Structure 1
Amino acid sequence: MGRPSEPLLSRALIVETALRLVDREGPDALVMRRIARDLDVNPSSLYNHVESRVDVIEEIRGIISASIDGEAFVTEPWADAVISWAHSYRSAFAAHPRVIPLLTSQVSTSPVILRVYEQFTLAANRAGWADSDILPVLTALESFILGSVLDMSGPTVLFNPRGQEAEFPAFFRAFSALKAVDQNDPVAGPAFELGLRGLVRGLLELRAL
């Protein structure tokens, strides 16, 4: 038999397979042997294209982060840019919430996300933030965004007091008063919008101190 016209394996194919595996089974499934099994190849063949599991995770980070839009930091006022960026950040991870524990488990040097962080930092500096404040502000925002992604990937309403109204009357009233434009997303989406605007407003007030 002649040599195949295209390689059976590639870096992109390995990473795409790994991402599908995590989406399907969770972060613990990201093991090189499992990736090889899904691709029907010997595990050692993977190392001709990727260096390690860490390398695969960084490539996954790059794929997802490529959808995060930081251009608003160039064209819009800082507060408006943060809200635009946060929406694109949440959307980028919404399809892959199970990846989050992997990406928060190791230090990253990905130029894809660092490029967005550069835009964030320059815009924050122009808005009056000191360099020493940048990472705390960024981390506070990212913690909120990623927490919202995890929230939206769970049950529509996480706590249900029905049947225990007498024990928890105040919470039951709040639960019963819940009104949603989107019945499929009665809490997570509105909570994200409310929390994001509250967080940005609070950060602006702190910056002015």
Structure 2
Amino acid sequence: MIEEIVQKTDGGYLVAIDGQQLHVPNDPSNRHYAMVQDAIAGGMEVQQQPEPLAYPTQADAERAMTEWADAFALQITGIRPESEKLSWSDKEKAAERYQAGTATANDLSMLNAEAGLTGETLDDLAASILANAAMFRVIVGKIAGFRRQTKAALEAATPEQYPAILTAAKAAALADAAAMGLPVVL
């Protein structure tokens, strides 16, 4: 005897018959199909299978947020070789020492190599490096703050609430970027 019928999203049915779950395809040649149709015709309620969760676990939601944050940061930093990104801290220190009048020979070599190709003066290059570094620190701090704030919200939520939390976090990050004059569009 059929105890429960659930309409699957693929058009078939998940049916409980005598305490056992059975998949019945939406196919009249299936031997259980007629039983399902008779039960429905007799007034048995057909439940709809719930849509799968976008993020079944908190880890899935956090992974999605991290991937989004990486794409967000990439728009801000632009596509740069990893070796160049790894040099940013050294370039910042070299620029600071240059402006302080304490640059080493290595500092001057690095700064002159770039300035020689771009045509900038060392003063302009050092100022540009320091301005970019200051802005980057603010951006990285904000990304970390948004990520931690979102993680805390996810920890207090259910999987059904995860998409709304991620959508709100992304909207807040985009609004913050726009307020800073950053052209980010994710």
TM-score by shorter chain over 0.5: no
Larger radius of gyration: 2
Which structure dedicates a bigger proportion of its chain to strand? 2
TM-score using structure 2 length: 0.26
